[in-house]
Amino acid sequence: MSYTEVPGVRVPIRMWTDPATVEGQAMQQLRNISTLPWLHGLAVMPDVHLGKGATVGSVIAMKGAVCPAAVGVDIGCGMTAVKSSLTAKDLPDDLSHLRHRIEQAIPVGRGLHTDPVEPGRLHGLSTAGWDDFWRRFDDIAPDVRWRRERAAQQMATLGGGNHFIELCLDDDGAVWLMLHSGSRNIGKELAEHHMSIAQSLPHNQGLIDRDLAVFIADTPQMAAYRSDLFWAQEYAKHNRALMMALFQDAVRRELPKAKAVFGELISCHHNYVAEERYDGVDLLVTRKGAIRAGSGEYGIIPGSMGTGSYIVKGLGNAASFNSASHGAGRKMSRTAAKKRFTTADLAAQTAGVECRKDSGVVDEIPGAYKPIEKVIAQQRDLVEVVAHLKQVICVKG
């Protein structure tokens, strides 16, 4: 489908879904965003749903300003995937041993590494820029610098919530490795630090929603936020790269006879800010629950833990600010999902997938998410499908 334009707002809201199907609170959030005086444009992806301050599934393009809540607390959260030389025939009938080896290699939930992971010790992983990256930690917000040890130990860990590690098969039977994670606790603390500062600034006092507080260009507060923001986005990218290397190593160790070879990584943020130019104007484009889908650029759009995911290639649609959805998108809150579904429902909806099936992940049940096939169909003018993946192992925190 092409987009629908929401009338009656200062800046047009372009929606790649039927506005009538979007929850009322999320629509109000979008209307609130449209009132920001710095807003140049607002695009809404088909996986849209309620977020804190800014709506998940929104692409917010502003001139001379950026809103920390439009990035969210998991700065740089995103996806990484890689195709392997393995096929379904190389996998054992019982995948539980491989799942457990992955869980042993990569801490999940609140877990962390006892000793920080050194990239130089991982097969095929470049160490270029690694020392400089950690040197720049000393430049981040003073209130957060004391977290250095924890940040180092959390590098190459998954976290919880909707983060996951999956081993998947495409429609031709090829094995793919895929994972979803972000900047862990250090990104959260940096985000909350700067959100608090933004809300205290005089130019934000008259906003319709204080969570939409912004930083203005050419101010020390903006400079400090952008420095920390880009560092956290880099942390998230390194986090996924190290996890993927550990994941590949776990597969090689568990399946030594298969002699797995891995292709080029596909990686994309979906909670981040980028400097881009549209309509002849230099803009700060914030994607919260959206990926960049420039012409020919590869991206990853995952579904829920029992459905499937898609590798896509961007079509470069400027109306969406070269963006696409970041996943299926929730259709109910975690609290609502826990009230509605049982562990028996979870087991039924994840049949055939080696994964947790206990009460701790009921809120991640496929039934709590929108159908990924419909979400993909709604953005055919934004991306083309390169591969359809179905998970056979799913690791969650």
Burial tier of 206 (Cβ tally within 10 Å: 0-12, 13-18, 19+): exposed
The strand pairing partners of 174, in sequence order, are 87
The amino acid present at 244, given as its one-letter code, is M
Give the pLDDT of the chain (397 residues) as one tens digit per residue.
589 999 889 999 999 999 999 999 999 999 999 999 999 999 999 999 999 879 999 999 999 999 999 999 999 999 999 999 999 999 999 999 999 999 999 999 999 999 999 999 998 888 899 999 999 999 999 999 999 999 999 999 999 999 999 999 999 999 999 999 999 999 999 999 999 999 999 999 999 999 999 999 999 999 999 999 999 999 999 999 999 999 999 999 999 999 999 999 999 999 999 999 999 999 999 999 999 999 999 999 999 999 999 999 999 999 999 999 999 999 999 999 999 999 999 999 999 999 999 999 999 999 999 999 999 999 999 999 999 999 999 999 8
Annotated binding-site ranges for Mn(2+): 74, 163, 180, 270
Q: Is residue 249 part of a domain?
A: yes
Q: Is residue 278 part of a domain?
A: no
356 token code pair: 């947790």
Q: Is residue 25 part of a domain?
A: no
SS3 assignment, position 321:
coil
- From the CB of residue 167, how many other CB atoms can be counted at a distance below 10 Å? 27
The strand pairing partners of 109, in sequence order, are none
Q: Is residue 45 part of a domain?
A: no
Specify whether the backbone of 105 is left (phi greater than 0), alpha (psi in -120 to 50) or beta: alpha
Annotated binding-site ranges for GMP: 162-166, 270-271, 302-305, 309, 326-329, 396
Measured CA to CA, the distance from residue 288 to residue 44 in angstroms comes to 10
Per the CB < 8 A criterion, the answer to whether 381 and 315 are in contact is yes
Annotated binding-site ranges: 74, 162-166, 180, 270-271, 302-305, 309, 326-329, 396
SS3 assignment, position 339:
helix
The parent domain of residue 196 ranges over 76-267+295-315+327-331+369-396
- From the CB of residue 51, how many other CB atoms can be counted at a distance below 10 Å? 20
Q: How is 38-84 classified by DSSP, letter by letter?
A: TEEEEEEEEEEE--SSS-EEEEEEESSEE-GGGT-SSTT-EEEEEEE
Phi, psi dihedral angles at 207 (to 5 degrees): -70, 150
Q: Is residue 35 part of a domain?
A: no
Phi, psi dihedral angles at 188 (to 5 degrees): -60, -45
Place of tokens 């568990």: 254
Measured CA to CA, the distance from residue 60 to residue 282 in angstroms comes to 13
The strand pairing partners of 272, in sequence order, are 287
Q: Is residue 219 part of a domain?
A: yes
Per the CB < 8 A criterion, the answer to whether 268 and 292 are in contact is yes
Measured CA to CA, the distance from residue 102 to residue 258 in angstroms comes to 17
The amino acid present at 276, given as its one-letter code, is E
Domain count, the chain: 1
The strand pairing partners of 118, in sequence order, are none
Per the CB < 8 A criterion, the answer to whether 312 and 298 are in contact is yes
Q: Is residue 214 part of a domain?
A: yes
| Non-local CB neighbours of 118 within 8 Å, separated by 6+ positions | none
SS3 assignment, position 354:
strand
Per the CB < 8 A criterion, the answer to whether 245 and 85 are in contact is no
Q: Is residue 236 part of a domain?
A: yes
Measured CA to CA, the distance from residue 89 to residue 385 in angstroms comes to 25
Closest CA relative to residue 322, chosen from 257, 381, 382: 382
Closest CA relative to residue 238, chosen from 134, 327, 162, 164: 134
Measured CA to CA, the distance from residue 190 to residue 187 in angstroms comes to 5
Which residues are catalytic, by number? Answer: 326
Residue 326 is inside which H or E element, if any? none
SS3 assignment, position 181:
strand
Q: Which CATH number is 232's domain given?
A: 3.90.1860.10
Quick one: pLDDT at residue 236?
98
Q: For residue range 187-242, what is the model confidence (pLDDT) as tens digits?
A: 999 999 999 999 999 999 999 999 999 999 999 999 999 999 999 999 999 999 99
Burial tier of 234 (Cβ tally within 10 Å: 0-12, 13-18, 19+): middle
